[in-house]
Structure 1
Amino acid sequence: MTTSNFSRQKIYQGVMYLFLVVIAFVSLFPFFWMVVSSTNTTADINQGKMSFGTALIDNFTKLSQVVDLPQIFWNTTKVSLLGTFLTLVIASLAGYGFEIYQSKLRDKVYNLLLLTMMIPFAALMIPLFSMMAKANLLDTHWAVVLPSVASVYIIFYFRQCTKAFPKELLDAARVDGVKEWQIFVYVFFPVMRSTYAAAFIITFMANWNNFLWPLIVLQTPDMKTINLVLSSLSSAYVPDFGVVMIGTVAATLPTIAVFFAMQKQFVQGMVGSVK
């Protein structure tokens, strides 16, 4: 390698690192500002203070006084875990079936499912609300969970990942007389652990951060999720931004913890790793 080529490579690497630093700063700054603001008073936040303050405990105390934190977090966790579990079961079964089993109508049905992704949720809200009302599920957590369990995107994701699944394992299991449901539970599931982990993170975060549909179907305070409560706090006539920020930090921590706990499996699942 000549000196000029080496210098150009160093300059290129330096520019790339500088670009990545800028992008990282832009991405992380809102989180930094959120954490800093949770330690300051509303007056300090309005003045644009960017250093840590001493109002963290006071903000948390005020939040605990106006919000039943255990109940709200239980509601959000219940909706998120239940919705994630049902979505993974249904989507993985559908993705597995679309890829493994042959049928003349398979691709037509699958393409029809993909077309439904083009329908905006705003066009589905009124029909879904009517369905929930007729089923007497309004103001229940089932009304939040059920419309999202058959996620077309997660079905698509599982089918694409199933393409990398070694079909020889299926043939060997069938030769040994293993039933189809046993193949799915004892052969497919263990091999596709990383795929399930990635789908779990995606689905859990989507359910945890869901706002519009719970806002429509949940009416009583005892049933509301953390996002609805934070929205009501920030929409007050004189909002206490310190309380809003400490609530936002508390609402963000579970998703961060889930992501970092399953980060390795998430990366393996997104790149299509099969073990």
Structure 2
Amino acid sequence: MKKKKSLSILKYFFMIIVSFISIFPFLWMIISATNDAREITAVKLTFGTHLVENLRNLFHSDLNFGASLGYSTFIAVITTVLALLISSVAGYGFEIFRSKARDRVFNILLLSMMVPFCALMIPLYRMFGAVGKTGLTGIGLNTLISVIAPYVCTAFLIFFFRQNTKSFPKDILEAARIDGLNETRIFFHMYMPVMKSSYAAGAIITFMSSWNNYLWPLVALQDPQKRTVPLILSAMGSSYTPDYGMIMAGIVIATLPTGFLFFMMQKQFVAGMIGSVK
């Protein structure tokens, strides 16, 4: 009995330590947002009185942080909506419709996941540069479309939806076809409502990836007025005299959308990741 009690105490003690290690960076980030640069460099671990000042400096600086929030929100939302629609259609098609070339095409698609994005940046840059020279407005480099387009269809998301489609009740599909529904209506009126957990998980993954994307927007968005939040935060830290209080306030604001989305949809996220169908 004493041995079990000792093991239980050690288990909870270990969990407390791990929880503190996990939570401390976020707690320190929030605390630092209320202090000035001098107090942060002195590793002050108590709340200060400079939060309003840091926020004022952040939104009134020449970095256009407010505009960058709008750009990042627009890019993340549009990318998420298009990626979920296109990837779910592809995953649905790969699983439901059978053909001789289906598995070959899907295997080639999976092989593309082995190619790092760094190897694709130069071809993408040349492609969008060439498109921009054709006179088509809003498509070439230094446009939001150039940031959104490469991420509206990813091999991982297609694979994710195909695997979850395996748990889609085939009886519903056959019953809908017998009732005379075409494939478009089956997809939008039956497949999407049933697979809402998978859509929630895919939305969280895609939104967080797009919101935190740094490398490609750094290359594609050459206009300082169109920089996204990660680019603004990077520019703050690379100055000669960085204002750490202002930086921490910006990081807190940049963390809120992804944190809010995850905590609001965490149950659906877990259900979607394990392939649950509601």
Equivalent of 2:71, from 72, 75, 86? 75
SS of alignment partner, residue 236 of structure 1: coil
Distance 2:3 2:112 in 1: 49
- 1:1-275 alignment runs, 5 A limit: 3=1, 7-66=2-61, 67-136=63-132, 137-275=140-278
SS of alignment partner, residue 43 of structure 2: coil
Pick closer, same or farther for the CA change 1:8–1:171 going to 2, 3 Å.
farther
Distance 1:26 1:16 in 2: 16
SS of alignment partner, residue 135 of structure 1: helix
Structure 2: which 5+ residue stretches go unaligned? 133-139
- Which deviations, in whole Å up to 9, do the C-alpha atoms of 1:177-208 show, x marking residues without a partner? 11011110111000001110111011000000
SS of alignment partner, residue 85 of structure 1: helix
How many residues in Structure 1 have an aligned counterpart in Structure 2? 270
SS of alignment partner, residue 48 of structure 1: coil
- Which deviations, in whole Å up to 9, do the C-alpha atoms of 1:199-247 show, x marking residues without a partner? 1011000000000000000011221111101110110011010010001
> What code does the residue aligned with 2:71 have?
N
Structure 1: which 5+ residue stretches go unaligned? none
Contact 2:69–2:229, Cα closer than 8 Å, also in 1? yes
SS of alignment partner, residue 164 of structure 1: coil
Q: CA deviation at 1:29?
A: 1.1
Q: 145-154 or 259-268: which moved more? A: 259-268
Q: CA deviation at 1:271?
A: 2.1
Identity of aligned residues (%): 49
TM-score by length of 1: 0.95
Distance 1:129 1:268 in 2: 38
TM-score by length of 2: 0.94
SS of alignment partner, residue 24 of structure 1: helix
- Structure 1 ranges of 4+ moved more than 4 A: none
Q: CA deviation at 1:8?
A: 4.1
